[in-house]
Each structure stands twice: as C-alpha cells, then as structure tokens.
Amino acid sequence: MKDYNLTVYYEDTDAQGVVYYANYLKFFERARTEFLRDSGYEQMKLMQEGIIFVVRNVEMVLHSPARLDDKVIVRTELLKLGKVSFEFNQNAFVESQLITEAKIKCGSLDSTSFKPSALPEYLHKGMKKLL
C-alpha cells in the first residue's frame, strides 16, 4: 500500500470549484504509476520492450467532492496479480474522509498487436512484493 499526495488545482475543477469526476481517474493513474515505480516499473523502458499497460475496467464510487486547494491523499493497493493482468484498489481522502473509491483492472499488451502479453519477469517479480 502506498499513499500519493496531491493538491487540487483550478484546472481540476468545474465551474463550482469541485473536482470534475473524470479527473479522479487522472489522480488514480498518477498514484498507480508511482506505486509501480517501487516494483521496478519504468514506462519508457517497457515501451522500448514493446509492452504497454491498459485499463480494462473501472468501478468508481464518488462519496463526496474534493474542492479547489484541497489536499488529497490517494491510497493505492495491489489486490491481484496474474501473468498478464493486475487489479488495484484505490481510495481518495481529504483529511481522513473517504471521498472516492475505485477498483481498477489493468492488463499488459504487446504494443504492436495490442494482444495480451505477459508482464516481463523482473516486473512481475517486483509487483509480487507489493501484494
């Protein structure tokens, strides 16, 4: 489990100063990327190896809004890890209040054919340590 901290900027909000719902997906993406760095994930290296990650499924529940200038903590946890796919639980908090939660399923694809491709062994091994 890892926390990623961010501040809500004007560009993240709608006309009422509330975080636009789709921007939580951006927050979660950044947090997953930083979480995976701890396992040896380097996006450019994987791209050079012909591997890309894609989001296959998102289940997200919005409980209450984050607002302009709020300090948001995104907590990321790897729930499942297969040879080709992996699943995360991600929760966003303002202070200690849960504001948004999501389950996000990802997959590994060959960047040319867009067909499922096994995670490189070094990355699978590194990700396993994060379970």
Residues recognised as catalytic? 14
Bridge partners of 55, per DSSP, are 106
Secondary structure (3-state) at 64: coil
The tokens of 48 are what? 């050079």
DSSP 113: T
Is-contact 115 78, C-beta < 8 A? no
